[in-house]
Amino acid sequence: MKTAVIVDSVRTGLAKSHRGGFNITRADDMLAHIINAMLERNPNLAPEMVEDIIMGCGNPEGPMGHNIGRNAAVLSNLPVTTGGTTVNRYCSSGLQTVSMAASQIMAGCYDTIIAGGVEQITMLSGKQNMEGFVNDKLAEELPGIYLPMGITAETVAKRYKVSRETQDEIAFESQKRTAAAQEAGKFADEIISMATKMLLINKETGDSKEVDYVVEK
C-alpha cells in the first residue's frame, strides 16, 4: 500500500460575513485562486499531474452548488482532464475530503489530489431553498438532526454540565490565541492574499458602493 503525504497547505484569509472583504466574492472564484496559488508555489507540480479535486462544502447550494469542486477546477489553471467532486459533511466537510483523498492515494487510485473545503456564508445567508427542507418522518423520529449549532450548544450545556459561560470562555480564549498567532506571523506561510471587491452599505441611507479590498489575514 502506498503512503499518502500532505505536500502543502494554503488558504485564503478570513473575513466577516456580510460586512467583510469577501461579501460579494464567489466561493468558486476563491477556490480557483487558492488552487492557482498552490500550483505557483509548487513549480515541480505540473497542473496535469493533479488528477482530482475533492472539495468540502457545508451548504452546497445556490452560488456554491452545481459541484463547486469541479467548477473551481475548471476556473483554475488546471486542465479540463482534472476531475472534481464536492462533499457535504457539514462542519467537517473539508476534513472529510482530506481523509478521502489520502485513502484513494493509498489504495492506488490516484497519485495526486487537491483536497480542502470552502464556505461563503454571505452570498447564501437567507437565500436557501427551504421548500421541502425537512423530512417529516425524520423530524418526528429524530428531530435533533435538524438542530442548529446554537441549540446544540444549549444541549451540550444541559447534558454534559458545560455552562454557556464556560463555552463562551473557551471560545473567547480560542479567539485570543488566534489573534496572537496572527500577530506573531504563525499563519503567514499558509495564507494567500486575495484582491477582491467589497460591498459597502450605508445603514442610514441604504446607499451602496463597491470598493477595492485585499483579504490577507
Q: pTM of the predicted model, to two decimals?
A: 0.90
CATH architecture of 1-133+189-217: 3-Layer(aba) Sandwich (3.40)
pLDDT < 70: residue spans in the chain: 127
Q: What integer pLDDT is reported at residue 124 of this predicted model?
A: 84
Q: What integer pLDDT is reported at residue 154 of this predicted model?
A: 87
Q: What integer pLDDT is reported at residue 144 of this predicted model?
A: 87
Phi, psi of 110 (to 5 degrees): -140, 165
Residue spans of the domains in the chain: they are 1-133+189-217, 135-186
Query: Per-residue pLDDT tens for 163-188?
Result: 889 989 999 999 999 999 999 999 99
Contact yes or no for 34/192 (Cβ under 8 A) = yes
Residue type at 127?
A: K
What is the SS3 string spanning the chain?
A: CCCCCCCCCCECCCCCCCCCCCCCCCHHHHHHHHHHHHHHCCCCCCHHHCCEEEEECCCCCHHHCCCHHHHHHHHCCCCCCCEEEEECCHHHHHHHHHHHHHHHHHCCCCCCEEEEECCCHHHHCCCCCCCCCCCHHHHHHCHHHHCCHHHHHHHHHHHCCCCHHHHHHHHHHHHHHHHHHHHCCCCCCCECCEEEEEEEECCCCCCEEEEEEEECC
